[in-house]
Amino acid sequence: MTPENFNWKNFSHGTIVNMEIDIMYDAIHTSEGLEEWLVGEANFKRNGKVLSKEDYIFTGDTYHWKWLAKDYEVKGKVLGSFPDRRIQFTFGDNFEVSIQLKSMQDSRTKVILEQRRTDGKETPDFGFLNCCVCWVFFLTNLKSTQEFGVDLRETKVREEFLVNR
């Protein structure tokens, strides 16, 4: 990647997780799963009613996420929850994210995350670049929590420069 070929409208990241796709589905389609690797608190609503942590999320659900040990939260909407093992959601006002799971040999799962700017939205480049970097960590944490049961997020030391905070 160079400054000349960096795409400022969308990016993709991926990882391979040594876990069956059904388990990985739960990690991206439930509050309980998302809290294991992404956020400290994930709350979803459907038609105004709060979902349980184990409920699967569907198209049209809304969410309110709070980061773990960090003063950051985001609200959004599930744009698509697809039986082909994919979920799509707004991420703040300016972005849309899609996470797709693909089954591989030997009970492994390929996870592909794509983020793009919401049509018609111009955003500061810092926000886009920050997301690009942070998703690398969170996909690494997804792999770590699912394969080894180890959450890499730092909760005791509150220094912003830490990559795992």
Say whether pLDDT at 1 is over 70: no
* Domains parsed from the chain with CATH numbers: 10-148 (3.30.530.20)
* Predicted local distance difference test score (pLDDT) of residue 79: 97
The CB density around residue 95, as the number of other CB atoms within 10 Å, is 20
Mind listing the pLDDT tens digit for each residue in 39-67? 999 999 999 999 999 999 999 999 999 99
Mind listing the pLDDT tens digit for each residue in 4-42? 777 888 999 999 999 999 999 999 999 999 999 999 999
* Predicted local distance difference test score (pLDDT) of residue 118: 87
* Predicted local distance difference test score (pLDDT) of residue 135: 96
Say whether pLDDT at 119 is over 90: no
- For 68-73, which contacts have Cβ atoms below 8 Å and span 24 or more sequence positions? 68/39, 68/40, 68/41, 68/153, 68/155, 69/40, 69/153, 69/154, 69/155, 69/156, 69/158, 69/165, 70/40, 70/165
**What proportion of the chain, given as a percentage, has pLDDT over 70?**
98
Say whether pLDDT at 152 is over 80: yes
* Predicted local distance difference test score (pLDDT) of residue 120: 75
* Predicted local distance difference test score (pLDDT) of residue 123: 66
Higher local confidence (pLDDT), 81 or 124: 81
Say whether pLDDT at 142 is over 70: yes
